[in-house]
């Protein structure tokens, strides 16, 4: 598909990052443009205090992106409120709360994707 572009999504665990490196190599082998890499499940937002806690290693996605020379688009934390909103069909409504840490992280990634697309 000539106009296909990839966004690589990783979790911070080393085993997952090994698969991500293979995906990046594949994209480069078939000459598919890589918009960038997102680190998903990067920390956990506590539903009681709102503090972000690293339950896995952090920074592996960014390091992998840098080593592979692909743009790092950002990190998305695990947030039970997002899971519940999705399960209840309220995700679009949830994403309207621009003060929410998850929404801020998602919006930053979306902005970075748009910037990368404009630069390609």
Instruction: Kindly list the domain boundaries of the chain, sorted by start residue.
Output: 5-113
Residue 114's alpha-carbon distances to 64, 84, 88, 93, 117, in angstroms, are: 21, 28, 29, 22, 5
Task: Give the pLDDT score at 53.
Answer: 82
Query: Where does 2-120 have alpha helices with state H?
Result: 14-29, 60-68, 80-87, 91-94, 101-119
Strand partners, 10: 39
Q: What is the pLDDT of residues 39-75, one digit of tens each?
A: 998 888 787 887 888 887 778 899 999 999 999 999 9
Cβ partners under 8 Å of residue 28, min gap 6: 34
5-113, what's its fold?
A: Rossmann fold (3.40.50)
């Amino acid at each position: 598909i000539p106009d296909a572009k990839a966004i690589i999504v990783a979790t911070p665990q080393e085993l997952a990052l090994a698969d991500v490196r293979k995906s990046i190599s594949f994209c480069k082998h078939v000459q598919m443009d890589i918009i960038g890499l997102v680190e998903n499940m990067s920390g956990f937002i506590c539903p009681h205090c709102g503090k972000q806690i690293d339950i896995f290693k952090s920074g592996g996605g960014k390091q992998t992106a840098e080593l592979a020379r692909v743009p790092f688009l950002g990190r998305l934390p695990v947030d039970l409120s997002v899971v519940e909103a999705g399960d209840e069909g309220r995700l679009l409504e949830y994403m309207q709360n621009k003060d929410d840490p998850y929404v801020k992280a998602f919006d930053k990634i979306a902005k970075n994707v748009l910037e990368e697309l404009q630069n390609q």
